[in-house]
Structure 1
Amino acid sequence: MNLFSLDDAALLRLAEGGTPLFAYSLGAAEAQYRRLRAALPARVRLAYAVKANPHPELLARFAALGAAFDCASAGELARVRDLAPGRIFYAGPGKRDEELRLALELGVRIQAEGWEDLERLERFATGPVAVNLRVHPAAGVEEASRIIGGTGPSAFGVDEEDLPALLARAQGLRRVAIRGLHVFAASNERDASRLLATHAHVLAMARDLQARLGVPLEQVDLGGGLGIPYAEGEAELDVEALGRGLETLLGAHPWFTGQLVLEPGRYLAGPAGVYLARVTRVKESRGVRFAILEGGVNHLLRPLLTGQPFPARAVGKSGPLRPATLAGPLCTSLDRLGDVALPELVPGDLVALGMAGAYGFTEAMAPFLSHPVPREVWEA
């Protein structure tokens, strides 16, 4: 996989309009979508996770390709409500009353997190409502960095062991009916076999849920977690193997005649983006070379959260590579974008950070210390 969606000539041209900036390739995003769609069984619906990158250009392109959308706030619902009516899911562990009312008004598929969601939907609904119930599994992929939560204690969903008690309580509901299962237990997983192991557990859980409900499940939402590489040499997710594995799982569960849902976000948007910033200062400190950039964790928070840098290159420069610590302009030692290897740098040089199309601009702390907000530029 190409870690940089745009070449040096394009990046230098775009930087002439001012830096820092996020530059995106719509063609790269579409290629990711088409590859994943082609690899998966027809019964799998792709619901793009809007939180990864909610830019209107990207949402419109995915909608035109037939994507559904996974939303986690009223703001995200507003972004896609007219793009994909009938193809919207609404999730989130802390839904407010007004957000549930809006979801009912729009007719989106609600992922209920627990009894609180079910009870309020029962009060707010004016007619029958089918929902998916989010369950926090007791087994599955354990994350190296807890982004979604693995199988430990979680704010998300109903713990799998508490499911029987909740279903017994839900029998008293008159307007709300549980007709699907939602499980999201992994983040940025590049091993198809590990994802499939979790999916197998989810389908076994769904079989038990259908037996307890006594009615066929319409949907089993497997969540996201499809990963991308952030360094040269890291293996890509084998989406063809994932597709073959899902086909095998469907064949092993003939009782399920409904629709599988996947919620890729990072996988679709990440490879489309590059972050560009110029070097403002280079210094040596006790044996460490620092390259200080115009932007840092105020624009790219992920390295601080995960300890893993984005892939980096010096645009238009070559020469022997030397270790460098990329630092930002903030008045905190937490403002580090990672340890990388780059040619000799001087102030004014342009540094590109790849795979920055997901969890970049909208995840960051742009207002912090009132530094300039990066531009966003889209290339065809």
Structure 2
Amino acid sequence: MTTPFSDLPTVRFEGEATLNPLAYRFYDPELIVLGKRLKEHLRLTVCYWHSFVMNGADPFGAPTIIRPWMGGTDPMAAARAKADAAFDLFRALDVPFYSFHDRDIAPEGDSLAETLKNTRVIGDYLAEKQQASGVKLLWGTANLFSHPRFMAGAATNPDPEVFAWSAATVKTALDVTHALGGANYVMWGGREGYETLLNTDLKRELDQMGRFLSLVVDYKHKIGFSGPILIEPKPKEPTKHQYDFDAATVYGFLKHYGLENDVKLNLEENHAILAGHTFEHEIAVANAFGILGSLDINRGDPLLGWDTDQFPNDVPQLTLALYEVIKAGGLTTGGLNFDAKLRRQSIEPDDLLHAHVGGIDVCAKAFLQAAKLYEGGQLATNLRDRYAGWDRGGHAAEGATLEEIAAAAENRAIDPRPRSGRQEKLENVVSLG
């Protein structure tokens, strides 16, 4: 079947000097960096929802991006046409992975049973497409936020019927992800939060959320799904108080419910900004707690206080984030997922190709710069020197009691002198090399 992306050329690496806008300047997938190929480090992933579902509508305007599979009288035929178009784009971009929400790949039916059947049927169709193309699934997830039934949350909903509906939906989405060989499964709790405590039992809702996630983890083990369950922290939007606000909040939640060994994080740059953090901060926190899983690589707009989901274009900022990824040992089952959408005025099919090509090159250039920083060792050396006193042991070493530390400090009578943190010097290393 011919799709809007069928005739697009497959993008290849041509080097930094090329003037071809549909060629990679920095992304050489076979380039060996830090001991393995660049494509194995980045694990680039095209997301289904923004690339093939987003129609350009906003709160003030009608859709501007119209694709052949949008609308029509046969939703399942449209779903297959959408899959055909998706795999044509994956071929054109030469990417190894994709990701999806269940409602993006298959339509909702007239009943829960029909909806779940639709997901399984299109899952089988995706399996055929994967087999023919070699493209793999990075992760799947369930949409538990768009339909009005989820207006008060899914797992945290005050109505147990919504909890049960959500359980059936996640079970099927996880089954399909498992059948497709997905490397991870994401729990994206878009509406797990509240607007006011006047109508909210916060503890009950957190307990429901903890129970729901525990049930998913138990089922994952039961069916032999080997990938991690991922939570994607998301602050403020759409509710004022999201239970999964940031990496530290989610870790506290996981620790409280005994899930910290089974669940990791899918972190997004745009969400980090909304939480008042940098992307590198969220990655560093996740690494410190041993729960770094995967990354959504879309950016926000510093002039807008909401989730704009733009393609990445800030190499220096992304360099810092990917440096933290390298320090963490890299992304194992995770990847760099383009959870990014075209701007409302970018309506042509090849606009989607240009957006991804630029975003992929930004990721590649940033990773190469981060690898250079890592191999140069200047940042690591400064860090080691700054904490060298702790490595030498002494009266404040691990195992000493408060009384022992206090007595030693009093007997030594040493007044510690401030030492420079060398921030400007280190910023120059990052910016200037």
| Shorter-chain TM-score range | 0.3 to 0.5
More strand by share: 1
More helix by share: 2
RCO greater where, 1 or 2, for CA within 8 Å and sep 6 or more? Answer: 1
Structure number with larger C-alpha Rg: 2
- What TM-score comes out, normalization by structure 2 length? 0.40
- What TM-score comes out, normalization by structure 1 length? 0.45
